[in-house]
């Protein structure tokens, strides 16, 4: 056998002494791979977010055009000022309904969160005391 590779003739202690360096190199390589993966995903998320923002900006103007077309449609049967008032009133009713639903959903979400936090704290106190059911 030839001695071309110096690692073939190393002692057990020399090989064991290399373990910390190998582990450090492995951890560094894993961190670098993770960074590259995060950067690639970040670019994809940023591009998707930019497209979403552009779509929302266009949607804003589409809504404005649809509101204007509703006013024009109502102005065929009413005077233009009355048509604008009717469309404005309809939009205000829609806004009020959405706000009421949103407030109810917000209250339901925060109430259950506060209750779950209080239950969790109570279970922790019971666990410290050694009473009650806990895992």
The reported pLDDT for the residue numbered 1 is 46
pLDDT, one tens digit per residue, over 59-92 is 999 999 999 999 999 999 999 999 999 999 999 9
Q: Which of 70, 63, 69 lies closest to 90 in space, CA to CA?
A: 70
pLDDT value, residue 53 = 95
CA dihedral of 41, 47, 49, 52, whole degrees rounded to 10? -140
- Whole-angstrom Cα distance, residue 80 to residue 84? 6
């Amino acid at each position: 056998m030839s001695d071309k590779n110096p690692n073939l003739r190393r002692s057990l202690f020399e090989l064991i002494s290399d373990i910390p360096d190998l582990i450090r190199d492995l951890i560094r390589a894993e961190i670098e791979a993770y960074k590259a993966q995060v950067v690639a995903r970040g670019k994809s998320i940023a591009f998707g977010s930019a497209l979403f923002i552009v779509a929302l900006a266009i949607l804003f103007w589409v809504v404005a055009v649809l509101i204007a077309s509703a006013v024009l449609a109502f102005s065929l049967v009413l005077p233009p000022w009355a048509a604008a008032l009717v469309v404005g009133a309809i939009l205000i009713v829609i806004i009020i309904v959405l706000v009421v639903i949103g407030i109810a959903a917000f209250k339901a979400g925060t109430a259950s969160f506060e209750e779950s936090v209080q239950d969790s704290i109570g279970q922790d106190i019971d666990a410290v005391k050694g009473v009650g059911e806990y895992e």
